[in-house]
Each structure stands twice: as structure tokens, then as C-alpha cells.
Structure 1
């Protein structure tokens, strides 16, 4: 069931950027996990700004590619959290929760509702 149109998806994407950017400070983790969170914030912001959807600003990335990236990133975050036992608990829980959230948004998003030029 695809209940999230591309406008709602865009709002959730920008909220995800804020979550990645603020998590290290709010949850108290630093070092490599914090750098990963900041890197994910930058990449997610770039993807969102450049995607061909209502809240995208430049609209050069097709929504299908955006969907593919999210389909890969969600499970990767979950796996990485389990494969990196040295992560502090706050970082581990954050990356698992982020991965689950990205998977859920991917699952429930109606990517076809974007106006695509391809």
C-alpha cells in the first residue's frame, strides 16, 4: 500500500537530513559514527534537493533512482549497525532506527506520483 505521495516523501527526506545532522549532538556519539551521520545528512540533502519531486529544487535525479538508493541505504544502515560492535549503544540504536525508517518510507512511498521527465 503506497500511502506516501512524493510531497510527503520530500518532507520526510528533509526531516531525515535534520535527524542525521543532529543525532551526534542529541545522542552523544562522536568519532567515526558522528562523521557517518554528518556524511549521510549531506548525501541525503543532496539527493533530496536534486530529485525530480515536488520539494526537489534542481530536479535532475529521477525518482526511480532516488527510490533505488533508499532501497539500498535502509538495509545497509541496519546491517552496518550490527556489523560494527564497537559502536556506542546510542549510535547503534540510531543507525538501526534510521535504517528501519528509511525502509518503511521506501515501502510506503508512491514514487510513481512524481512528475518525471523520462
Structure 2
């Protein structure tokens, strides 16, 4: 049994979006990294608000598809880490990749979205 139900996963996603918006500025990363991270936050938020689970605003995307979309961002995050000049920026994107991989691994993707 995995600890992240669909509802808990949604809460984690909303928190991750806030982190992607605020962390680069707090860490004093480049304006380019701040912009890229804001774009990532917007895309994650877009998927989250339309996923079939209770924290969504409009339940359109099947929950397992949400997982596949998130998993599909891992190569992008790893690529962003690889192409950063600053060690702090590389670590930031590697941290995001680890967060996505961890959330994916801890989520029960077959669970009924309406069960908490």
C-alpha cells in the first residue's frame, strides 16, 4: 500500500507548484531559472486543476494519466539540471526531479480518486 492517495497527491502537487514559484527567488537563482521554474509551476498547476481527484477545480484528466504526464517531465528536469552552469541551479532541478520521482513512487495510481 502506497501512502499517497489521489487526494494527498493533489495536495503535494499544489505545494510543489508553490515551491516552484517561490524557491528560485528565495535561493537567489538566475532570472532565467526563475522564469523556467514558473513555467513548470504553471504547467503542473494546469494538470493538477484538471485531474480527476477531489482537489481539482474541474475533473477532466484521468488520475493515471496525470501520473504519466508527471513522470514524463523527469527527462526535462534532468535535462535542465544538466545544462545549468551554476551548481546551485543544477541541484535545484535535480531536487525537483527527485521530488517528482518520489511523489510518483509513493502514489497509488490505481486508487479510486474519491477515496481519501
Residue 5 of structure 2 contacts residue 107 of structure 2 at CA under 8 Å; is this kept in 1? yes
Partner SS state of residue 112, structure 1: coil
* Corresponding residue of 2:111: 113
Q: Name the SS of the counterpart of 2:110 in structure 1.
A: helix
Give runs of aligned pairs for residues 1-118 of structure 1, distance below 5 A: 1-82=1-82, 84-86=83-85, 88-115=86-113
- Number of aligned pairs? 114
Distance 1:37 1:25, change over 3 A: same
Structure (1 or 2) with the greater helix fraction: 1
Query: Unmatched 5+ residue regions in structure 1?
Result: none
Instruction: Report the Cα offset of residue 73 of structure 1.
Output: 1.1
Measured in 1, the distance between the counterparts of 2:63 and 2:96 equals: 20
Give me the CA root mean square deviation: 1.7
In 1, Cα distance between equivalents of 2:107 and 2:87: 30
Q: Distance in 2 between matches of 1:106 and 1:75?
A: 14
Shift of 1:79: 3.5
Which of 1 and 2 has higher RCO (CA within 8 Å, sep 6+)?
2
